Structure 1
Amino acid sequence: MKIGVDYYPEQWDRALWKSDSDLMAKTGVKLVRMGEFAWSKLEPRDGQFDFEWLDEAISTFSRHAIGIVLCVPTSCPPLWMYETYPDIVQVGPDGNRIQTGIRGHRCLNAPMFIYYAKRITEQLARRYANNPAIAAWQIDNELEAYPCTCETCRGLFRDWLIDKYDTLDNINKAFGNSVWSSEYSDISQIQPPTAYPKAWQNPALCLDFARFSSDTVVKFVSDMSQIIKLENPRAKVTSNTFFCENAPDYYKLFSALDFTSYDNYPPVKLAGETEELSSHAFELDFMRGIRQRNFWVMEQLSGATGSWSPMGATPRPGQIKGYAMQAMAHGADTVMHFRWRTAVKGAEMFWHGLIDHSNVPSRRFEEFAELCKTASKLSVIETTELVSDVAILYSPDNYWAFNIQPQTEGFDYLQQLRYFHAAFTRYGTNVDIISPTSDLTKYKAVVAPAMYIYEKAAAENIYRYVIKGGTLIMTNRSGVKDTCNNCIMEPLPTVYREMIGAEVSEYDPIGETEQTISDFAGNKFTCRQWCDILKLTTARAYAEYKDSFYAGKPAVTMNRYCSGVTYYVGTVCKMDFYESLAGNIMKQTGIPRLKDLTKGVEVTTRTNGLDDYIFFFNNSEEEADITLPKPMYSIIDGNEKDKLTLMPFDMDIVRK
């Protein structure tokens, strides 16, 4: 297991490079990431390249056998490029070019930007692709599906639509342009969504523009990766991502790359007893699920965050080490902290690194050093992976569509996924978050929340899973829209109606109003946001509403379909309901459960097929005691234990 740091040699005096590399080697740092914002240093003038400083920086660290993650610096073109080619700047939904002065302004479709991006990538690849010090490559930085509306993007969007629909008449039909007299009579009339709220605009147009914007970034990443691979086919290429407003299709994005990388900034302040879920276990499992294999963390919390927002609280004792270990527990094989030293200049000077402005290593650095020592003991788990009995399905189309047309106050697509994830992981089981078209046959239970947009391949995949004996959970707002983001004129949940054995006779978007449901055992739970009023066909009621004009009507159903079982949750509840439902389903499907697990303790298991390694992470501010079912060997301290005592944010790993 490798621990690394993000480092910016261009921002520091050369005299610091050697002392920093010496301290890194002494501390146990194995990787350094550099270069993602250094284009102006690498190409100070058009066509004049300066790689000598980068040669020296790479040599300084590699002499300690510290590997280099070299970044292609296309996130920040030099100012001379903006000055010479102002049309490479993105145009916002309002039709105006965005202001330059920070980073990420470039349009990924602008011809001159593409020319220069390919050229700097080629220069770097020719010089370094076969350098043994280079452990991996990173394309750009935190790429998004930028909604650029420049003339180039407008033209390419029109081409994209014609490629998809063939004719203008087909586009008019797909978009429903008879509404509001919106038919296109010429292709030039097709425009991207404007600065008006998305909910005021054509939802079919908005969804296709999101798809187009995502395809743009996927093509850019693929093109840059191929340039590097031409120089060295064995080069490992990735790009770092995060959960952003303009989220791309992560599945497509990383299909063109060798592995997934994530920027991980878990919250320092925990949610306590509220319904808010503060653990980043969901985000980490999401990243592992993109390619269904282990991943890297390219940026990890190192100190108080704050640049474009006021500074947050500093990490509590144990969080620097604990959150890095949590990432490993969920499949991260490499964790790189952002950053080695806090910047003293520029907008990010208060996004703190491991070493503060004083340049004196303190508490957080000492904890990082302890992490490096612990990671050096974990070679035994380097070949392990997580094997899960439960999967949750995430769809980019659903994410985009819900952002375009919010359903009711408080309703959040990702939050529904998080509820189910928290419920199942509460019992210590591994959970995968995967695409709806992934192979589902290996899972004992699959959760398909809010399958809002119909996708034929996904629907057929889900049906096959249940027909062959799988246990499925679906939720409200499923089967609502066709693939064009238009409503389907059938009783909800339309294509899934037969499988769930019920249909929606009416629905009530109640927003933040709280009501009550009661399950088959008489347990009462609070529901809110959305209420599907269900009419049973072959299903049985699992829970019923207790309030409003639909009191006594089913709120949750269970239906046996062919060899499988489908549950349908017609409302949105608080966490206690999801924990109860998950516990019952795990019991019915034979998924092992850890009972009476201390709140805040997270349990995951990594395996190599012969040995299982169980990670116990205390993600709380209270000490936690855990009694093991039998004595187990700890690979952290080398002792056999029948009980674990974990301090706040502490972790132990035992061999089963």
Structure 2
Amino acid sequence: MGVDYYPEHWERTMWEQDANLMRETGVSLVRVAEFAWSRLEPEEGGYDFSWLDDAIDVFDRQGIKVVIGTPTCTPPNWLVNRFPDVLPVDAVLHPRYPGIRGHRCYNSPSMRLYAERIVEKLARHYSNHPAVIGWQVDNEFSLNECHCESCNKQFRRWLSNKYGSLDAINEAWGTVVWSGEYSSWDQITTPLGGTAYKNPSYLLDYKRFETDSVVEFQQLQVNILRRYCPEHFVTHNIWSYPMSLDYYKLCETLDFASLDYYPNTSPEKAVSSGYSGALTLDLTRGIKRSPFWIMETISGPPGCWFPMWRTPHPGLIRAYAWQCISRGADALVHFRWRSAPIGAEQFWHGLIDHSNVPGRRFEEYRVLCEEVNRLSEVLGGSVVLSEAAVLHSHDLYNAFGIQPQVEGMHYFDHLKLYHRALTKLGIVADVVNMTEDLGGYRMIIAPSLFLTDQSLADHLETCVKNGATLILTARSGVKNMNNVCWMSPLPGPLADVAGTTVAEYDPVGNDIHAIRTKSGKTYSCSQWCDILEPAGAETIAWYEDDFFAGKAAATVRELGKGKVYYLGTIAEESFYLDLFREVVREAGVNRLPGLPEGVQISVRSKGTTLYMFIMNLTRKRQIVSIGGEFSSLLLRKTVGPELDLDPYGVEIVKMEQ
């Protein structure tokens, strides 16, 4: 259990008081300094770590460990004034001036030089401090889409390394369209002007280049930290989903991923926020397919450059903390210890308000710390147990963003739809990169594989033949990985696997249509309608209206030991609840049936022992059947077969496999 703390914001007399209260509360970790460059290096080459030394020593005396954030998210004014190339440049070549964090170009020679210097000084200085255990590189990386001369030069270098020649670029991108062919390297620039009417293959490669620029900038720091602090971990705090930046690449060389997670506190989102959060947490666990850290999470109502949210309802902070742990978090760092009286984040509230008097939220946090610390040894070393997978890709997200397919159709919303249905059914799922090895999963949902190559199709086919159930959806197999359309019937390389092809499609957008299943039940659908021609697959749903009434809307094919479903439209949620319920029964996927709306489960395993977390992420009392009597870790007594959960109530039960 940890908190984010900024000693430079407080009088020194408060440090000792805060550290004492942290220890008494059960806090054993603080993150510091990720925004403190101007205090660590007040002028060029003039380093002052004495204040941070004193603060870390205060925490050390209380037995509190420290994670240091490298301060490269906030270049100080002296740096941007002396070296204007530090500032990113927008698509119309206007620099983005300081005044908020993140004002730096990842490819700026000056930025890289001074970032390396401050990180090396910090790494050397704190490499042997007993309280320092790890590093967070920068803060919440994103694509800043800079168009400065340094980025243009690096973009050309990146393209040369990838393609080797202009002829290869012209061929891969199809630049013959609209006379876009390149005859000289200096004709290639970043996407200037801001217009959307550009070659989609070029735009997708620019997104990939931007990710690689962030990765390269981060790796400069990682290399330094590894050299001088080999015993420390190195991580980075990603900022939620969806995101253009490829987190799989970003976190590849890190020890583990970390997430900044802020559940929505609005009453009208009291239920939906829990499902969206579950997807975010499962995505984060899937980055490295291993446990992760929460480096920031909600402590009070957020708000600053936007109106404040509602304050967390009683129990929300505790319940969402346990949701994080249940889905793979091994540490929770709450943002922040105390609300800031100064700066841009004055109303992004901490555990203690501006009054400096611990209140209701702080007492809830104190209880949470006691519970987590008491169960830490029991749960330590356990991992999330899942038999189903949902595939995800930043390339797919970017490709759909570059060319929106139809009004109301969004790639990430599809992930939410399918993942929410699994969660409501009591099924624990991994969310993993579509390029990962998927062997061992009983159920694989592959939403809209818009970009597909033969190797992915072959891997999915192998998984199915070995016994997996694969679910493919509309807008799959449309393009190759260069964002160029396949010249073959949809779903392209996946047609043989699916046993069906798309005779025609209708981008129906927000128009509502209907499908009918074999059982005679009807469901509404919208966004997209693939009119299917089965070729070895069996039809399981038909369209009910329009010119394609009576045509196949969904199919299933038996292949080897498994099955392949192809869903040609986007249906209402109840369709997926009914379909997935049947699929998991046939595939032998474990689940906890009968969960009330807003109640979630997750399972962590350790040896032969399972720990099932049951969380009521709603504002009302809920009754949950858990199918037997089990030992409660929180109550330290036997509970079940039914649980009576208060609003935001949590239970953890122990069972043997």
Please give the range of the TM-score, normalised by the shorter of the 2 chains: over 0.9
Q: Which residue of 2 aligns with 1:459?
A: 457
Match status 1:206 vs 2:203 = yes
Partner of 1:552: 550
Find the partner of 1:315 among 312, 331, 335. Answer: 312
CA drift at 1:59: 0.6
Matches within 5 A, 1:403-442: 403-442=401-440
Shift of the alpha carbon at 1:454?
Answer: 1.9
Of stretches 76-85 and 95-104 in structure 1, the one that deviates more from structure 2 is 95-104
The question of 1:341 aligning with 2:316 is answered no
Please tell me whether residue 327 in structure 1 is matched to residue 324 in structure 2: yes
5 Å-filtered alignment, 1:134-149, equals 134-149=132-147
Residues 275 and 423 of structure 2 are in contact (CA less than 8 Å); yes or no, is this contact kept in structure 1?
no
Instruction: Determine the C-alpha separation between the residues in 2 that align with 1:173 and 1:517.
Output: 41
Alpha-carbon distance, 1:194 to partner: 2.8
Give the letter aligned to residue 204 of structure 1: S
Which of 476, 487, 490 is residue 489 of structure 1 equivalent to? 487
What is the rounded CA distance, in whole Å, between the counterparts of 1:244 and 1:376 in structure 2?
Answer: 29
Deviation at 1:130, TM superposition (A): 2.4
Distance 1:197-1:572 versus aligned 2 partners, 3 A rule:
farther
Which letter maps to 1:30? S
Alignment of 1:34 with 2:32, yes or no, is yes
CA distance change for structure 1 residues 4 and 280 in 2, over 3 Å: closer, same or farther?
same
Q: Deviation per CA, 1:492-539: give whole Å up to 9, x if none.
A: 101000111111111111111111111111111111111111111111
Number of the residue aligned with 1:654: 653
Counterparts of 1:125-524 in structure 2, within 5 Å, are 125-198=123-196, 200-243=197-240, 247-269=244-266, 271=268, 278-379=275-376, 380-524=378-522
Cα distance in 1, alignment partners of residues 66 and 270 from structure 2: 42
Are positions 1:632 and 2:630 aligned together? yes
Offset from partner CA, 1:307-347 (integer Å, 9 cap, x none): 22111111111111111111001010101101111111111
1:644 Cα deviation after fit? 1.6
Distance 2:649 2:433 in 1: 32
- CA contact 1:472–1:566 (8 Å) conserved in 2: yes
d(CA) in 2 for partners of 1:616, 1:338: 25
| Offset from partner CA, 1:540-578 (integer Å, 9 cap, x none) | 111111111111111111011233210011111121111
1:71 to 69, 73, 77: 69
Say whether the 8 Å CA contact 2:594–2:625 is kept in structure 1: no
2:618 matched to which residue of 1?
620
User: Matches of 1:456 and 1:556 in 2, distance apart?
Assistant: 23
Structure 1 contact 292–434 (Cα < 8 Å) conserved: yes
Shift of 1:276: 8.4
CA shift at 1:469, angstroms? 2.3
Instruction: Tell me, yes or no, if the aligned pair for 1:377 and 1:636 is still in contact at 8 Å.
Output: no
SS in 2 for 1:534: strand
* Amino acid corresponding to residue 299 of structure 1 in structure 2: E
* Superposition map of 1:570-609 within 5 A: 570-609=568-607
For residues 465 and 71 of structure 1, do their structure 2 counterparts lie closer, same or farther at Cα, with a shift above 3 Å needed?
same
After TM superposition, list the pairs within 5 Å mapping 1:102-113 onto structure 2: 102-113=100-111
**CA deviation after TM superposition for structure 1 residue 62, in Å:** 1.3
Deviations 1:193-237 (A, max 9, x none): 234343x21101100000000011111222211101101222100
Q: Which runs of 5+ in 1 are unaligned?
A: none
Letter of the 2:321 partner, please give it.
A
Hey, what's the Cα distance between the residues in 2 that align with 1:273 and 1:33?
A: 29
**Most deviating of 146-155 and 435-444:** 435-444
State the secondary structure of the residue aligned to 1:378.
Answer: helix
User: 1:94/1:192 Cα in 2 relative to 1: closer, same or farther (>3 Å)?
Assistant: same
Contact 1:326 1:617 (C-alpha < 8 Å) held by counterparts = yes
TM-superposed CA distance for 1:384, in Å, is 0.5
Q: Which has the higher mean CA deviation after the structures are superposed, 339-348 or 619-628?
A: 619-628
2:453 and 2:123 map into 1 onto residues whose CA distance is: 39
Partner of 2:87 in structure 1? 89
Q: CA deviation at 1:459?
A: 2.6
Per-residue deviation, 1:594: 2.2
Letter in 1 for 2:646: M
Assess, with a 3 A threshold, how the Cα gap between structure 1 residues 117 and 455 changes in structure 2: closer, same or farther.
farther
Gaps of 5+ in 2: none
Cα deviation for residue 649 of structure 1 reads 1.2
CA distance, structure 2, for counterparts of residue 7 and residue 319 of structure 1: 22
3-state SS, counterpart of residue 404 of structure 2 = coil
Q: Which residue identity is paired with 2:647? A: P
SS in 2 for 1:377: helix
Aligned length: 653
Return the offset for 1:273.
10
8 Å Cα contact 1:76/1:104 also seen in 2: yes
Q: Indicate conservation of the 8 Å contact 2:275/2:420, yes or no.
A: no
- Using the alignment, how far apart are the partners of 1:276 and 1:621 within structure 2? 12
SS at match of 2:457: helix
Question: Using a 3 Å threshold, how does the CA distance of structure 1 residues 197 and 274 change in structure 2: closer, same or farther?
Answer: farther
Verify the 8 A CA contact 1:154 1:191 in the aligned structure 2. yes
Q: Are residues 607 and 274 of structure 1, via their aligned partners in 2, closer, same or farther at CA, if it must alter by over 3 Å?
A: closer
Aligned equivalents of 2:258, 2:331: Cα separation in 1: 9
In the aligned structure 2, how far is the partner of 1:378 from the partner of 1:275? 29
Contact 1:437 1:461 in 2 (8 A): no
TM-score (norm. length: structure 2): 0.97
Residue pair 2:351, 2:362 contacting (<8 A) in 1 also: yes
Q: What is the DSSP-based 3-state SS (H/G/I as helix, E as strand, rest coil) of the residue aligned with 2:629? A: strand
Aligned equivalents of 2:240, 2:57: Cα separation in 1: 34
Tell me, yes or no, if the aligned pair for 1:437 and 1:457 is still in contact at 8 Å: no
Distance in 2, matches of 1:402 and 1:630, equals: 46
Q: Is the 8 A contact 1:130 1:231 kept in 2?
A: no
Identity %, equivalent residues: 43
Map Cα deviations across residues 423-454 of structure 1 (whole Å, 9 max, x no partner): 11222221000112222111100011111112
- Give the 3 Å change call, closer, same or farther, for CA 188–405 of structure 1 in structure 2: same
1:623, CA displacement in angstroms? 0.5
Moved more, 438-447 or 266-275: 266-275
| Mapping 1:42-53, distance limit 5 Å | 42-53=40-51
Please give the secondary structure, in 2, of the residue aligned with 1:312: coil
The alpha-carbon distance between structure 1 residues 178 and 189, as it changes in their structure 2 partners (threshold 3 A), is same
Matched with 2:3 is 5
One-letter code aligned to 2:115: A
Measure, in 2, the Cα distance between the counterparts of 1:406 and 1:243. Answer: 22
For 2:195 and 2:613, locate their aligned partners in 1 and report how far apart those are by CA, in whole Å.
45
Deviation at 1:278, TM superposition (A): 4.9
Report Cα offsets for 1:55-79 as digits up to 9, x if no partner: 0010111111111011100000110
Question: What is the TM-score when the length of structure 1 is the normalising length?
Answer: 0.97
Answer whether contact 2:240 2:259 (CA < 8 A) is retained. no
Coordinate RMSD, CA, aligned: 1.5
Partners of 1:649 and 1:26 in 2: how far apart? Answer: 25
2:35 partner SS: coil
Which amino acid in 2 is paired with 1:351?
A: W
Deviation at 1:274, TM superposition (A): 9.3
Residue 17 of structure 2 is matched in structure 1 by: 19
- Partner Cα separation in structure 2 for residue 521 and residue 583 of structure 1: 14
Deviations 1:345-371 (CA, angstroms, capped at 9, x unpaired)? 111111111111111111111111111
Q: Please tell me the residue identity of whatever aligns with 2:649.
A: D
Q: Is the 8 A contact 2:387 2:590 kept in 1?
A: no
